Structure 1
Amino acid sequence: MNLYITGTPLGNLNDMTYRAVETLKSADVILCEDTRTTRKLTNHFEITTPLRAYHDFNKFETEDRIIEEMHEGKVFALVTDAGMPVVSDPGYELVRRMQKESLGFTVVPGASAFTLALVLSGISSFEFTFFGFLPKSQAKRKEKLKEIMFHSHTSVVYESPHKLKETIKQMSEVSPDREMSISRELTKKFEQNVRGRADELLNMLGDEIPLKGEFVIVIEGYQEDEIVSDIPINEHVGKFIEDGMKPKQAIKMVAEMRGLKKQEVYDAYHK
């Protein structure tokens, strides 16, 4: 193998697996987001493997060198600051390049914050969508939040402490009664998981729920009050648009809910 995509603890170092320790010890180089963060981990487990920065700002300029060294026989381990690499973190581009060049890679499994939060939420997990971090642009962010709040399956979102209150506020404005869960500091000393209505959780932020740590929000799927099979498709799309959704999103949502192709819904709406 040329690359081991290695999961590391979210916060509690006791969650580090034996296989992960051995993998990091035996690799020639550890690729990591922040060498200072990963060095705390390697020092704790007495891992002396050299560290090399690989993150969103240098991934493309360092990729050629990494691939060249792999062809020469070097073995790399890829880690993130916490949890599973590639999930809402850089790495998939490197995997695609390796696939193209027939280089070997595998995963050394570890914790992922969104799966832990989903399990702890008490919200249905039979079907869910992981949205990761929301867009930075305010306009795109509002658009994505509306999509999430009208999504028919459970949704999972990552959020930072300084944006959490505004995010929950916008969710509450769309659907104050929607059930959701907020998790923070997963696996750490001050781990917290709170489930309730959107408006209830909004009032708890900054008090019962301190705005510290990284957050995972789990949102119950949108439940259509009416029996959709009895509503004409164009009216169904129109209802979502009245609620503030863009036509393209509304068409996609109706197609998902009715099990139809988007083109069928598009044609029905425009006719």
Structure 2
Amino acid sequence: MKLYITGTPLGNLDDMTYRAIDTLRNVDVILCEDTRTTRKLTTHFDIDTPLRAYHDFNKGKVEDGIIEEMHEGRTFALVTDAGMPVISDPGFELVARMQDAGLAYSIIPSGSAFTLALVASGIPSYEFTYFGFLPKTNAKRKKKLQEIMAHERTSVLYESPHKIKDTLAVIADIDGHRTVSISREITKKFEQHVRRPADEMLQMLGSEISLKGEFVLVIEGAESEAVEFDIPVMEHVEALIKEGMTPKQAIKKVADVRGLKKQDVYDEFHETKK
């Protein structure tokens, strides 16, 4: 009676591990998000273990039965459509219930798209926050992105191909000079990783960067306000101009992060230039 939380390839089937194949062959049941997707994987590796659907829409109904079967001695593997189960996918509830019931489980590891994108980003990864998927409604998405852009740590999130332009547009509007990295089709034939300032990245979408495949966005953390406040307002403006911002952009940025009126910063800046 055991559950094996089993990682599968993100896209390249050659990344499947011997241990994962052996596990899927020897358990009694494979729990999967979409039986059609997992069937392609099991067929490729000649695995004939029965598949059973376990996803966000039925997990509440099937978990009691799974726990009962485990008490009877059956073994299960939990897989996702690609990558490591539980990460932005169903499963943590089942793990919690197994802990409460004193049932055993093991991890059969694989990569997750967000960790691989972070590795490929060239953006500091000593401290980072994984945000998963953004909210669906535009208002909530914008509010969440404003929160992320104010975050001082590196941020990682998933985005769909039909929303990536809108998301980059919001990011560029908040801070067009912020470094972002886009990774798409990770481990697949047309794998791509691009690191640019947000406003430049926005212009590349649809041309140099194809709007196909799932996207992972890595966003550089915001500058620490505590450090920025150690210098006078005008020195702060001049420092941003030296980094490549226009005076208008620098004035707006300084006003935003310091909680000042943009007109006041504008007036002071132009007074110093007389």
Normalising by structure 2, what TM-score?
Answer: 0.83
Amino acid at match of 1:103: L
Cα distance in structure 2, aligned partners of 1:209 and 1:17: 31
CA deviation vs aligned residue, 1:199-223 (integer Å, no higher than 9, x gap): 0110011111111001000000001
Cα deviation, residue 141, structure 1: 1.2
Secondary structure (helix, strand or coil) at the match of 1:107 reads strand
Cα distance in structure 2, aligned partners of 1:242 and 1:36: 53
**Counterpart in the other structure of 1:7:** 7
Amino acid at match of 1:61: K
Cα deviation, residue 241, structure 1: 8.9
**Counterpart in the other structure of 1:70:** 70
Cα deviation, residue 239, structure 1: 5.4
Cα distance in structure 2, aligned partners of 1:176 and 1:239: 14
Cα distance in structure 2, aligned partners of 1:141 and 1:57: 23
Cα deviation, residue 136, structure 1: 1.1
Cα distance in structure 1, aligned partners of 2:124 and 2:172: 20
Instruction: Report 1:1-271 matches (<5 A).
Output: 2-224=2-224, 227=227, 230=230, 242=259
Cα deviation, residue 22, structure 1: 0.3
Cα distance in structure 2, aligned partners of 1:86 and 1:154: 22
Cα deviation, residue 142, structure 1: 1.2
Secondary structure (helix, strand or coil) at the match of 1:173 reads helix
Secondary structure (helix, strand or coil) at the match of 2:196 reads strand
RMSD: 1.7
Amino acid at match of 2:206: G
Show structure 2 runs of 5+ residues with no match: 232-254, 261-274
Normalising by structure 1, what TM-score?
Answer: 0.84
Cα deviation, residue 225, structure 1: 5.8
Cα distance in structure 2, aligned partners of 1:39 and 1:241: 55
Amino acid at match of 2:136: K
Secondary structure (helix, strand or coil) at the match of 1:227 reads helix
Q: CA separation of 1:240/1:99 partners in 2, compared to 1, >3 Å: closer, same or farther? A: farther
Amino acid at match of 1:81: D
Amino acid at match of 2:27: A
- Give the number of aligned pairs: 237
Secondary structure (helix, strand or coil) at the match of 1:209 reads coil
Cα deviation, residue 227, structure 1: 2.7
- Which region of structure 1 is more displaced relative to structure 2, 81-90 or 222-231? 222-231
Cα deviation, residue 224, structure 1: 3.2
Cα distance in structure 2, aligned partners of 1:240 and 1:78: 45
Cα deviation, residue 138, structure 1: 2.0
Please list every run of at least 4 consecutive aligned residues from structure 1 whose deviation after the TM superposition is greater than 6 angstroms: none
Amino acid at match of 1:93: E
Cα deviation, residue 27, structure 1: 0.5
Cα distance in structure 1, aligned partners of 2:226 and 2:62: 53
Percent sequence identity over matched residues? 67
Cα deviation, residue 139, structure 1: 2.0
Report if the CA contact (8 A) 2:229-2:258 is conserved.
Answer: no
Cα deviation, residue 230, structure 1: 4.9
